[in-house]
Amino acid sequence: MTEIAISTHSLTRDFPSVRAVDSLDLEIPAGVVFGFLGPNGSGKTTTVRLLLGLLEPTSGRAEVLGHDVSLEPQAVRAATGALMEHSGLYERLTAQENLEFFGRAAGMSRVDVKARIQELLDPLDLLERRGEQVGTWSRGMKQKLAVARSLMHRPRVVFLDEPTAGLDPVAAAGLRDDLARLVAEEGVTVFVNTHHLADAERLCHQVGVVRDGRLLAVGRPDELRTATGGRRLEIAGHGLGGDVLSAVRDATGVLEVRLENSRLVLDLDQDVRTPDIVRIVIDRGGEIEEVRRGAETLEEAFMNLLEASDDDI
C-alpha cells in the first residue's frame, strides 16, 4: 500500500463574503509532485494555509504525514517546508544568514546547517554569493534561494505557492529545471500551486484542477489532456487534401474536419477509434508523419475544464 502524505476530507473554509475552499477531498501519495491548478481566487493559497495550520478550517479536516493539521499544527510545520506567495526572505540579511536562521529554526545543528547550505547552493550557482545581502539580488535569484530555504531542513513534504510567479520566461524555465532536479534528488512530496500550465507539465505527476474552491478533476497531466480533449484528432503529413479530406469527412463519427497548414484537424464522436481514421487516410494515398489524439497542451485541457464548469452553472 502506498503511504498517503496529504489527505483532506470535505475540507471547507469560509470567509465573510466567500467560500474559499469548498468540500475539498484530496489524497496525495508520498513522493508525488502534485500540481494544484486554478485561476486567480480559486482557493489555492487558502488550501495551503489550511494544510500548514495557519488557518482554521470552517469544517472538514486534513492530515499531513499522519498529523491532523488542526490538532498538531506544529508537528506538521516541523515536517514540512513552504514557499508562500512572497519569497519570505529577510532582505537585509545575507543569503547565508537567511538559510542559517531557517535551518536553526527547524532545529538543525550548526554543523548540519553549514553542510546543507553548501549542498543546496552549489548546484544553484549561489554558493559564491552567499555572503551578499538578499535585497540586492534579482527576483530569479531570490526565488531560487527561497526554494533552497524551503528544502533546508530536508522536509518530507514541501508546499510551493506559485514558485515561478513574477519571473521572466527564461528564469521561470530555469527554476522549473532546478525544482525538477531537487524534487527528484530529495524524494520529497510536493504540493505546488500554479496557474502556469508549464509548471504543471514540467513538474507534476498529478494535477488537481480547482475553481471557486471546488475540485473539478484530478489525474496525470496526460490523462487530463486526453480526458478533456478526447474528441480531437490531429494528423500531420503530406497529401491530406482533396480525396483524403472528403473521404474522412464522410467517415462515420466524424463531426467536423478542416485542413490547417497541411494538418488534418478532426472533431470526433467519443467512440471513434484512431486506427480507423488512419486507415482511411492511408487508403486514399495520404502520407502520415504524426498522429495525436487529445488536447494539444495542458493549457487547452485546463481551459476546456473551466469552460465545462461554466456550463454547469
Ligand X SMILES: Nc1ncnc2c1ncn2[C@@H]1O[C@H](COP(=O)(O)OP(=O)(O)OP(=O)(O)O)[C@@H](O)[C@H]1O
43 touching ligand X, by CB under 6 A: yes
- The CA-atom distances, in angstroms, between 106 and each of 99, 145, 191, 268 are 10, 17, 20, 55
Q: State the Cα–Cα distance between residues 61 and 70, nearest whole angstrom.
A: 8
- For the bound state, the minimum distance from the C-beta of residue 166 to ligand X, rounded and expressed in Å, comes to 12
Residues 28-87 that bind other proteins (CB under 8 A): 49, 52-56, 73-74, 77-78, 80-87
Residue closer to ligand X (CB basis): 86 or 181: 86
* 107 in contact with other proteins (CB under 8 A): yes
Instruction: Give whole-number Cα distances, 218 to 188, 204, 286, in Å.
Output: 20, 12, 38
Pairing outcome for strands 157-161 and 232-238: unpaired
**Total number of residues binding ligand X (CB under 6 A)?**
12
Question: Could you tell which of ligand X, other proteins, Mg ion, none binds residue 43, using a CB distance below 5 to 8 A set by kind?
Answer: ligand X
| CA dist list (Å): 149 to 36, 106, 113, 189, 306 | 21, 11, 11, 16, 34
Q: Which is nearer to ligand X, 214 or 231 (CB)?
A: 214
285 binds ligand X (CB under 6 A): no
Which residues, 6+ apart, have CB-to-CB distance to 7 below 8 Å? 26, 27, 28, 62, 63
Q: How near is the Cβ of 27 to Mg ion at its closest, in Å?
A: 22
The minimum distance between CB 44 and ligand X, in angstroms, equals 3
Q: Are strands 67-68 and 80-83 parallel, antiparallel or unpaired?
A: unpaired
> Please, which residues have CB within 8 angstroms of residue 246's CB and are 6 or more apart in sequence?
none
Q: Residue 274 CB, nearest distance to other proteins (Å)?
A: 47
Which is nearer to ligand X, 44 or 130 (by Cβ)? Answer: 44
- CA distances (Å), origin 77, targets 49, 80, 84: 11, 5, 13
Measured from the CB atom, the residue of 107 and 169 that comes closer to other proteins is 107
- Residue 235 interacts with, from Mg ion, other proteins, ligand X, none (CB under 5-8 Å by kind): none
Beta carbon of residue 60, minimum distance to other proteins (angstroms, whole number)? 16
Which option in other proteins, ligand X, Mg ion, none does residue 167 bind, with CB closer than 5 to 8 A by kind? none
Residue 162 binding other proteins, by CB under 8 A: no
188 binds other proteins (CB under 8 A): no
176 with 203: CB under 8 angstroms? yes
In Å, what is the CA distance from 88 to each residue of 1, 15, 163, 263?
37, 24, 12, 48
The residue behind cell 524551503 is: 150
CB atoms closer than 10 angstroms to residue 130: 19
Pick the stretch among 35-43, 102-110, 202-210, 277-285 that binds other proteins (CB under 8 A): 102-110
Contact positions vs other proteins (CB under 8 A): 49, 52-56, 73-74, 77-78, 80-93, 97, 101-102, 104-107, 133, 159
Contact positions vs ligand X (CB under 6 A): 15, 18, 20, 38, 40-46, 195
